[in-house]
């Protein structure tokens, strides 16, 4: 496969077009252009159909594919202006705005901001995101992460119901608007991560089965039939997915992909599909001279996913770490139920700071199995951590953010726990000003039976978790509108103060190399179980000083013993100070530094220290 050019769907070559599609079960395939004569495609090897040097199709023309007379959208369409059931539109991706010779930044320098295009701004599109980029620059963000933008049914969706992975959601602005947004981000020094979904396709507008064996009954997934990566006829499916991943890097200048729930990708091929995506990404990187990253969401605690292909790994550059989130939230008082059941709070949080994974071969009650493997030898920059994200907010019945679950002081502590960790930190949109609007689950399916099935599924999910009450209707437009950020809150004194606090934390991370280093061998966690508190020592291997972070998750003032080898130097930040609207400044003085440090309830302090 040539990664330097598009090898699937409609491609422009000057004033002419080429077309290539995989439809191994078809006996006749035509390109049906609106108000023009149909074009017959020729059968080629391995189930492909092609037509070359087409002069009758122009940019913005609407077209369909006819598979044995049945009219369908193009599976490799980049725009569906009338929705996923409508015609595809011819778009020339070669004519894209310049990215001003942008060079992706190292993964270790990512400070990620996850956002949902539809609810991030009042406009709910890529232009709305562009208008808010200066806010993110002021905050100190270095990378934005867009939740999935692949075309889905209707006007509103989280994005995980996408059915045409090459098509950019029309209500967000389509492909040209996304290219423009990425170029603008790069001009402002921001990397762009895109969330992609290769483990399943959505339920409405999914016509892939009409073209070939895209799905298999060989495996089961929570979302329906599994994508066929290793069964009969899977070669076309694999190329389709690899082409999609490369398209984002090559044609949209996306810097990194976040691959949704890769543990749900079932593939027993000799070369796993993730390995193939990694190999092709590396090949493109060599051709362009630009680094691209693959970041997996994975709940298996298996370092093979983030090990190089040359070591028989799956080649992902990094992964999300839910376990850090779970341990952090239990330490903060989250009830131990559902996926929090396995987590012991402060002790597991201390382990997560040092090892990234909590479960590295221990017995898990929730899984009823021994689970996980050590990630020793892996760099901290391979792990992305967060105190909240779209899943852990939106999958709550009422979509509550930390701002409505925790005190103002605890929110500051959670922020510090993430932004001073030896991993890649990620914020969820609005948390930097303690946004109070919920982030709810919403859809816009047109099939009444499907809508009712979604409603019932949500009810059953919460009933199984023993959650009382009634979930907001996911189909209701009000559910979507309630999930939009309230930017006016930034004008309120308390919210503005939270924003300034986040700015200060990010500035500290950028200022001190001890907080930037991701060498996990230099991280030491001191657990104070009875006090529900932690000390995290952050240092560089070649320096005789460190930063000592104190985290008190309890509701009482605590006195924590200073490690014997450390001498306290300077206080860098105290979340309990009055300037951060805290209850009281720490009473620590140089005279009592030799034995212990006092820390206020639900608060964070960072000191510079010297080794004795």
Kindly give, in sequence order, each residue whose CB lies less than 8 Å from that of residue 204, ignoring residues fewer than 6 positions away.
Answer: 84, 152, 153, 161, 163, 445, 446, 447, 450
d(CA 114, CA 134): 15
What sign results for the dihedral spanned by CA atoms 265, 267, 272, 273?
Answer: negative
Task: Say if residues 386 and 365 touch (Cβ distance below 8 Å).
Answer: no
Residue 559, pLDDT > 90, answer yes
| Catalytic (active site) residue 478 | no
Sole residue written with tokens 């689970």: 371
Between residues 341 and 541, which one has the greater pLDDT?
341
d(CA 464, CA 482): 26
* Percent of the chain topping pLDDT 70: 96
Sole residue written with tokens 């990194």: 256
Mean pLDDT calculated for residue range 581-599: 73
pLDDT for position 319: 98
CA distances from 314 to 219, 280, 295, 304 (A): 20, 13, 11, 6
Residue 321, pLDDT > 90, answer yes
| 395 annotated to a ligand binding site | yes
pLDDT for position 94: 84
| 263 annotated to a ligand binding site | yes
| 259 annotated to a ligand binding site | yes
Mean pLDDT calculated for residue range 394-416: 97
Residue 544, pLDDT > 90, answer no
CA angle, 605 as apex, 602 and 606 as ends, to 5°? 150
d(CA 199, CA 573): 43
Residue 586, pLDDT > 80, answer no
pLDDT for position 222: 83
Q: Of 89-103, 114-128, 577-591, give the range with the top mean pLDDT.
A: 114-128
Residue 84, pLDDT > 90, answer yes
Residue 99, pLDDT > 80, answer no
| 326 annotated to a ligand binding site | yes
Kindly give, in sequence order, each residue whose CB lies less than 8 Å from that of residue 610, ignoring residues fewer than 6 positions away.
Answer: 544, 545, 566, 567, 569
pLDDT for position 140: 98
pLDDT for position 458: 85
Per-residue pLDDT tens digits for 29-52: 999 999 999 999 999 999 999 999
Mean pLDDT calculated for residue range 260-266: 96
Residue 374, phi then psi, degrees to nearest 5: -60, 140
d(CA 287, CA 329): 43
What's the whole-number average pLDDT of the chain? 95
pLDDT for position 464: 60
Task: Say if residues 73 and 88 touch (Cβ distance below 8 Å).
Answer: yes
Mean pLDDT calculated for residue range 298-321: 97
User: Lowest-confidence range among 53-62, 92-101, 549-558?
Assistant: 92-101
Kindly give, in sequence order, each residue whose CB lies less than 8 Å from that of residue 215, ignoring residues fewer than 6 positions away.
Answer: 208, 209, 225, 226, 227, 228
Q: How confident is the model at residue 470 (pLDDT cuts 50, 70, 90)?
A: confident
d(CA 421, CA 439): 25
Beta bridge pairs of residue 71: 66
Domain edges within the chain: 9-89, 109-504, 513-611
- 230, 231, 255, 260: which one is catalytic? 260
**Fold match flag (9-89 vs 109-504):** no
The DSSP annotation for 96-148 comes to ----TT--PPPGGG--EEEE-HHHHSSS-SHHHHHHTHHHHHHHT--EEEEPP
pLDDT for position 223: 81
| 393 annotated to a ligand binding site | yes
pLDDT for position 593: 55
**CATH number of the 109-504 domain:** 3.20.20.80
| Catalytic (active site) residue 400 | no
- 297, 432, 435, 577: which one is catalytic? 297
9-89 fold? Immunoglobulin-like (2.60.40)
| 392 annotated to a ligand binding site | yes
Helix (H) or strand (E) holding 240: helix 235-252
* Beta strand residue intervals within 7-47, DSSP E: 9-13, 16-22, 29-33, 39-40, 42-43
| 260 annotated to a ligand binding site | yes
513-611 fold? Immunoglobulin-like (2.60.40)
The reply to whether the predicted model has a pTM over 0.85 is yes
pLDDT for position 589: 55
Residue 363, pLDDT > 70, answer yes
Tokens of 229: 């990566």
| 573 annotated to a ligand binding site | no
Mean pLDDT calculated for residue range 595-600: 92
Burial 203-230 (b: 16+ CB within 10 A, else e): bbbbbbebbbbbbbeebeeebebbbbbb
CA distances from 198 to 233, 260, 298, 315, 366 (A): 17, 7, 13, 16, 26
Q: How confident is the model at residue 101 (pLDDT cuts 50, 70, 90)?
A: confident
């Amino acid at each position: 496969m040539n990664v330097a050019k598009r090898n699937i769907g409609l491609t422009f070559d000057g004033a002419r077009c080429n077309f290539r599609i995989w439809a191994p079960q078809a006996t006749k395939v035509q390109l049906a252009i609106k108000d023009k004569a149909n074009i017959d495609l020729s059968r080629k090897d391995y189930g492909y159909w092609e037509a070359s040097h087409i002069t009758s199709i122009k940019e913005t023309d609407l077209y369909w594919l006819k598979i044995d007379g049945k009219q369908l959208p193009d599976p490799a369409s980049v725009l569906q202006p009338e929705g996923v059931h409508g015609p595809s539109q011819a778009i020339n991706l070669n004519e894209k705005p310049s990215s001003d010779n942008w060079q992706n930044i190292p993964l270790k320098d990512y400070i990620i901001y996850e956002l949902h295009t539809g609810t991030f701004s009042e406009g709910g599109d890529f232009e709305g995101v562009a208008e808010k980029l200066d806010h993110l620059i002021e905050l100190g963000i270095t990378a934005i992460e867009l939740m999935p933008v692949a075309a889905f049914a209707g006007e509103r969706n989280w994005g995980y119901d996408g059915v045409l992975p090459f098509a950019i959601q029309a209500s967000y602005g389509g492909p040209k608007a996304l290219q423009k947004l990425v170029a603008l981000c790069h001009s402002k020094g921001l990397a762009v991560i895109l969330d992609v979904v290769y483990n399943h396709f959505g339920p409405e507008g999914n016509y892939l089965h009409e073209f070939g064996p895209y799905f298999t009954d060989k495996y089961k997934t929570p979302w329906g039939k599994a994508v066929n990566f290793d069964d009969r006829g899977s070669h076309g499916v694999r190329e389709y997915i690899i082409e999609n991943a490369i398209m984002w890097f090559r044609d949209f200048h996306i810097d990194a992909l976040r691959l949704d729930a890769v543990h749900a990708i079932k593939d027993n091929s000799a070369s796993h599909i993730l390995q193939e995506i990694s190999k092709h990404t590396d090949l493109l990187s060599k051709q362009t001279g630009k680094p691209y990253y693959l970041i997996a969401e994975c709940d298996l605690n298996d370092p093979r996913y983030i090990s190089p292909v040359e070591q028989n790994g799956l080649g992902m550059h990094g992964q999300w770490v839910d376990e850090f989130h779970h341990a952090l939230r239990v330490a903060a008082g989250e009830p131990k139920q559902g996926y929090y059941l396995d987590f012991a709070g402060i002790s597991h949080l201390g382990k997560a700071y040092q090892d990234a994974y909590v479960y590295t071969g221990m017995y898990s009650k929730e899984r009823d199995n021994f689970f996980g493997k050590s990630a020793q030898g892996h760099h901290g920059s391979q792990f992305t951590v967060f105190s909240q994200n779209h899943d852990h907010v939106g999958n709550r019945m009422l979509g509550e953010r930390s701002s409505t679950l925790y005190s103002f002081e605890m929110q500051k502590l959670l922020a510090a726990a993430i932004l001073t960790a030896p991993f890649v930190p990620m914020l969820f949109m609005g948390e930097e000003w303690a946004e109070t609007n919920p982030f709810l689950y919403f859809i816009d399916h047109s099939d009444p039976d499907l809508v009712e099935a979604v409603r019932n599924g949500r009810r059953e999910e919460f009933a199984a978790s023993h959650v009382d009450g009634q979930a907001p209707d996911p189909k209701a437009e009000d559910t979507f509108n309630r999930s939009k950020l309230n930017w006016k809150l930034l004008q309120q004194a308390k919210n503005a103060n939270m924003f300034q606090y986040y700015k200060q934390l990010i500035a500290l991370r950028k200022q001190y190399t001890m907080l930037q280093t991701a060498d996990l061998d230099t991280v030491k966690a001191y657990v104070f179980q009875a006090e529900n508190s932690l000390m995290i020592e952050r240092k560089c291997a070649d320096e005789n000083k460190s930063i000592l972070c104190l985290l008190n998750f309890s509701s009482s003032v605590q006195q924590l013993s200073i490690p014997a080898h450390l001498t306290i130097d300077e206080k860098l930040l105290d979340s309990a100070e009055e300037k951060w609207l805290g209850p009281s400044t720490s009473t620590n003085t140089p005279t009592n530094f030799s034995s212990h440090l006092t820390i206020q309830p639900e608060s964070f302090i960072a000191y510079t220290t010297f080794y004795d």
